Amino acid sequence: MTWEPVIGLEVHVQLATATKAFAPVAVAFGAPPNTLTDPTVLGLPGALPSFNAAALAAAVRLGVATDSTIRARSRFARKHYFYPDLPKGYQISQHDEPLCEHGHVDVWHDGARHRVALARIHLEEDAGKLTHGSASSRVDLNRAGVALVEVVTAPVLPSAELAFAYMKALHRLVRALGVCEGDLEKGHLRCDANVSLRRAGTDALGTRVELKNINSFRFVRAAIEHEIARQARILDGGGQVERETRLWDGTAGLSQSMRGKEEVADYRYLPDPDLPPLVVDDATLAAARAALPELPADRLARFVDAYHLAFDDADLLTSESALGDFLDAAVAAATPAHARPLAAWIVNELLRVLAGAPITASPVTPAALAELIVAIEDGTISGKLGKDVFAKMIASGDGARAIIARDGLTQISDPAAVRALAEPILAANARQVAAYRSGKDNLLGFFVGQLMKASGGRVNPQLATEIVKALLAGDA
């Protein structure tokens, strides 16, 4: 029996707001425990929430970027559960009137564009953090009340691979929009995965299992693959998959049953009486749409279609806005025909020099790189000397043309000049010339190497080979 996986992801995205969702308390990572609280965050009686407009703006921006339907009036709801990380006894979330529905995120995977349907994007607050020791557990409420959106896909992802690609695309998107800092080490994106199997070729959804605690990006794929295999074993053995929530253990590479799935009724959702409806008017939506940057998936398509980049280069150069901005600025300083070599130099040379530092710290500006690539492409210097010039640009901050002129690196492309350099080399190596002529073809490289050396690498390499060959054949 072949089983077809169906995956839906619920991703919590921490919004990049200076203060918490419902209280004017700073958001910061690594502050001493329980220093970022106030009566609202602590859920003290009488404290009232008031919603952070910056969180709404960020959620609306993500909503329009995903082409979602955005409710003109949406509501906050209380989701009740009792756990020490939630001092109020309920989480403020959205239930039957979420801010956004029916959007999509475009995901490039293996050279193809996939449109992943979203069920909803809703606003909610984060809970605190528990640390369990052997004798006691500790609660830190610094994270409690931080503004999140939950981005929920429809049950449409067909593989662990695509689920992982979706996570990367969402990560890119929220950073490009500036709605989330996207620091995975700080848990800015956290994913729960819902997995079910159905008979290949059928439509009805199978019973799903929710995997929680996939606390690292890398684990998304492994956790889902493991769950697919686990369910296939159960179904192949004639059993039934139980609807449950399982905890993924990334270190052990396996999951454990955590609880039978709660029903919606268990949460006793209620409209939150302390918060007015969220209102988003048409002018706000229009302004949010007008302020959208080019989305990463569209930019990747443009880099492939208009710049003719290899998919992997386009993918890498759209992984961060600043990288794509660098390429666009460099192309603007050269021509679109230079986009491919510019991309190759950014990927292979500049990023290597930067060694993990952000491109915004590049010692070479986009215009300076463009000047170098134009000089290589128009034959002023050879590609090999280009690397030396590039190193000098980085060391000195000087422009490419200035270095080429100062160091006399201009490529020698005049056949007569090349012959004048080559002839004495043949004369000085009569024994090798005789050997070549008696059939030792591989000595060609020796002569070309001598010629390049004599010219300081300046001879056009193709021309060097041609002329040496001709001289050795006695044709020149």
Distances (CA, A) of 134 to 82, 131, 137, 138: 22, 10, 8, 11
Among residues 142, 196, 231, 255, the one that binds ligand ADP under rule CB under 6 A: 196
Range 443-447 contact pairs with CB under 8 angstroms and sequence separation of 24 or more? 444/468, 444/469, 444/472, 447/422, 447/472
Of 10 and 244, which has the nearer Cβ to ligand ADP? 10
The answer to whether the CB of 471 falls within 8 A of the CB of 419 is yes
SS3 of 122, please?
A: strand
Site for ligand ADP in 362-381 (CB under 6 A): none
Rounded least distance, CB 153 to ligand ADP, Å: 5
Of 212 and 338, which has the nearer Cβ to ligand ADP? 212
* Nearest-10 Cα torsion for 262, 247, 99, 47: 80
Of 68 and 321, which has the nearer Cβ to ligand ADP? 68
Q: Which are the contacts of 309, defined by CB distance < 8 A and separation ≥ 6?
A: 303, 317, 339, 340, 343
Rounded least distance, CB 96 to ligand ADP, Å: 11
* Nearest-10 Cα torsion for 434, 438, 443, 447: 40
For the chain, give the longest Cα–Cα distance.
101
Stretch of residues binding ligand ADP (CB under 6 A), selected from 72-80, 178-186, 188-196, 294-302: 188-196
CB atoms within 10 A of CB 64: 21
Rounded least distance, CB 100 to ligand ADP, Å: 14
Q: Token pair for residue 450?
A: 């001598």
Of 28 and 264, which has the nearer Cβ to ligand ADP? 264
Q: Across-strand partners of 11?
A: 151, 191
Cα(166)–Cα(106) distance, rounded to whole angstroms?
8
Rounded least distance, CB 210 to ligand ADP, Å: 7
Of 154 and 394, which has the nearer Cβ to ligand ADP? 154
Of 152 and 389, which has the nearer Cβ to ligand ADP? 152
Of 147 and 197, which has the nearer Cβ to ligand ADP? 197
At 301, phi and psi to the nearest 5? Answer: -60, -40
Rounded least distance, CB 253 to ligand ADP, Å: 21
Q: Token pair for residue 311?
A: 């998919």
Q: Does 182 bind ligand ADP (CB under 6 A)?
A: no
Stretch of residues binding ligand ADP (CB under 6 A), selected from 8-16, 91-99, 286-294, 442-450: 8-16
CB atoms within 10 A of CB 219: 21
Rounded least distance, CB 335 to ligand ADP, Å: 45
Q: Token pair for residue 174?
A: 């929220």
Q: Which amino acid is at 394?
A: I
Number of shown-chain residues binding ligand ADP (CB under 6 A): 16
Stretch of residues binding ligand ADP (CB under 6 A), selected from 193-201, 271-279, 294-302, 316-324: 193-201
Of 196 and 455, which has the nearer Cβ to ligand ADP? 196
Q: Does 194 bind ligand ADP (CB under 6 A)?
A: yes
Of 195 and 374, which has the nearer Cβ to ligand ADP? 195
Of 210 and 371, which has the nearer Cβ to ligand ADP? 210
Rounded least distance, CB 200 to ligand ADP, Å: 15
CA 443 to chain centre: 49
Least Cα distance to 350 among 295, 380, 387, 400 occurs for 387
Site for ligand ADP in 143-172 (CB under 6 A): 152-155
Site for ligand ADP in 398-437 (CB under 6 A): none
Q: Across-strand partners of 247?
A: 212, 256
Rounded least distance, CB 255 to ligand ADP, Å: 15
Site for ligand ADP in 202-241 (CB under 6 A): 205-206, 208
Rounded least distance, CB 89 to ligand ADP, Å: 20
Helical H segments across 321-399, by residue range: 321-333, 339-345, 351-354, 366-377, 383-396
Site for ligand ADP in 54-113 (CB under 6 A): none
Rounded least distance, CB 192 to ligand ADP, Å: 8
Among residues 4, 10, 294, 407, the one that binds ligand ADP under rule CB under 6 A: 10
- Interface residues with ligand ADP (CB under 6 A) are 6-10, 119, 152-155, 194-196, 205-206, 208
